[in-house]
Structures are given as C-alpha cells and as structure tokens.
Amino acid sequence: MGERKISFNYTETSPQRLDKVLLAHSPELSRARWLNLIKEGFVLINGSPARKGGQLVQSGDRIEATIPPAQPIDLEPEPIPLNILYEDAHILVIDKPAGIVVHPAVGHERGTLVNAVLAHAPQIEGVGGEVRPGVVHRLDKDTSGILLMAKDEHAHRWLQDQFRLRKAEKTYLALVDGKPPTPKGRIEAPIGRSAEERKRMAIVPPGKGRVAISEYRTLEVFPRHTLLEVHPLTGRTHQIRLHLQFIGCPVVGDRVYGRQKPTLPINRYFLHAARLSIILPGETQPRTFESPLPRELNALLDTLRHYGG
C-alpha cells in the first residue's frame, strides 16, 4: 500500500489529546505509529505541524495526516560486529561507524544497527515498537559516534524522557565549508518537511515547523574550512546539517544539504557524535561517554593542518 492521506475536523466539545483522537479515528494504526508520525512532522493541526501526542485538540480544529507506506517489520538478527563502549542489563552504548543505517527502512531492510543489536541482545525485540526495537535516538547513516540502545521497556521510556526533557547533553564535531558569522553562537530555526521533497527536511517559517535550537563554538580555523563543536539542544531530524547550512557553512561532504561536489576528498560527511552525558536508568548522576574521532576524519584534519585548505 502506498502513501495515503486523511483529514477531518474534530467535532467533540471537550478538548482531547491528539494521539487519542487519531487512534479513535484510525485505529488500524498503533499509538506508537501515530506518535512517530507526529514526531516526524506528518500530522498537521490547522495547517501547522503538531508538537506532540499530548497536544490538546479543540472543537473545530482541522487535522490532516500523511501516512507513508509501512516499513518492513520482518527483522532478522545479523552477526555484524559492534563497537560497544558500555553495556549493562538495561542499555547499550555503541560507537556507530559511518555508513550503517540505524534501523530498517525502505531500501535498507538488512545490515542495519538494529539487525546487529538483535543478534547481540535478542531481548530488545519489540522494545519501543516492532520496527525500531531498542532505538532511543538516531544518527544519520553517514554520522558516526555515540548511540544509545535500550534493552527493556523501562530503559526505553527513561532514556526517551531524558532526551525529551533536554537532560541529555550531546556534543558533535563538524568540519564545515567556510566559517560561521561569529566564532560561537546560537541557531534558532524551525525545521519541517521540505515542500519540494518529502524525504528531505528544511528550515521553515516560524509556526510551520518544530522548534530547533543548536549552539556552536569554533575549535580550529583553516583557510577555507572551520572545525566546530556543536551542541543540539533539540533533536530534530537532520538538525545540525540544516542549521549549519542555514548560517552559510554546510558540513563538508554533505551532498544533500551542502555542496554536490565536496571541497575535500571524503566519502561521507564530517559529522561525529563525540560525547554524550546522560543519567542512566536507576541512577541519579549523569555519566559521560566519549567516542574518538574516526581515523579518516583525523587524517583529513591532519592534511589541513599540514597543507592548508
């Protein structure tokens, strides 16, 4: 079944949670599926993206939803090597390499991180949903670095709350073309689905997307490039890549939101999740996990330091 759309007006007199309204209107989709569609920007209220499942719908509100084709759920464990930084009975902290997709999707049914984790920890099957078991947050295919996976439902809810309440501190390293307008700064630009291509995200006018905030500071300056430390305060899809493009310095190697022809010899984009501080389930103080910069990214920096660029 292909993409389908639904639209209707909420006619009840009492306000109701959006997720409950959607579930009552289209019960063939699970609540988890609806929550994910809301998170991904596929549900609109009066023409603006819904903020969360708990958002109240008022009488007369117009609700529109785009439902993309369901993703495959025939997940198979695969013995793919994992670089595990930390593991206990509840979570996994993985150092993800570039080039691997986090969870199965159309075009990437096998060889994902979820397939690998299912082979290592079979108990994650179904945790947080059938399609993305154990997934708490995501990294893009060509982004490397720290990724958390939950091994049980309690840990999944706990970790998701840490991210939702902005209690998790994330640090990325990004090499960009050019330099930002100031050595350090804060970027506030809402993100929503691209009107031209639904598979892409875009910076959209206020009120038309979800709030997105990133902070950055300069670590090293080269003649035509800048190494930045970036702290995303929200977790929108492709946020860092879009925000850096927005201020005129796209990530090196990003052929989607940057330059079609990379300015340096790189087969991925230069974006790495280097550090994550978060309170683990059952604990009271945050732990910090770090991932060293991958060899190919270090080599690129060494080349710039020795020969300029």
What values do phi and psi take at 209, rounded to 5?
A: -145, -170
Of 275, 297, 158, give the one whose Cα is nearest residue 225.
297
Alpha carbon separation from 179 to 175, 239, 245, 271, 292 (Å, rounded): 10, 18, 11, 16, 24
Q: At what angle do helices 31-39 and 18-25 cross, to 10 degrees?
A: 120
Which of 39, 6, 2, 16 is closest to 201 using CA atoms? 39
Q: How far apart are CA 272 and CA 217, in angstroms?
A: 15
Structure tokens at 95: 């150092």
For 152, how many CA atoms within 13 A lie in the half-sphere containing its CB? 8
Rounded Cα–Cα distance for residues 40 and 73 (Å): 19
- 140 assigned to active site: yes
Spell out the alpha helix ranges (H) of 203-294. 239-246
Contact 169, 276 (CB under 8 A): yes
Q: How far apart are CA 142 and CA 146, in angstroms?
A: 13
Exposure string of 77-93, with b = 16+ CB inside 10 Å and e = fewer, is: eeebebeeeeeeebbbb
Phi, psi of 34 (to 5 degrees): -65, -40
> Is the distance from CB of 48 to CB of 207 less than 8 angstroms?
yes
DSSP bridge partners of 221: 226
Q: Among the options 61, 140, 152, 254, which is catalytic?
A: 140
Question: Annotated active-site positions, please?
Answer: 140
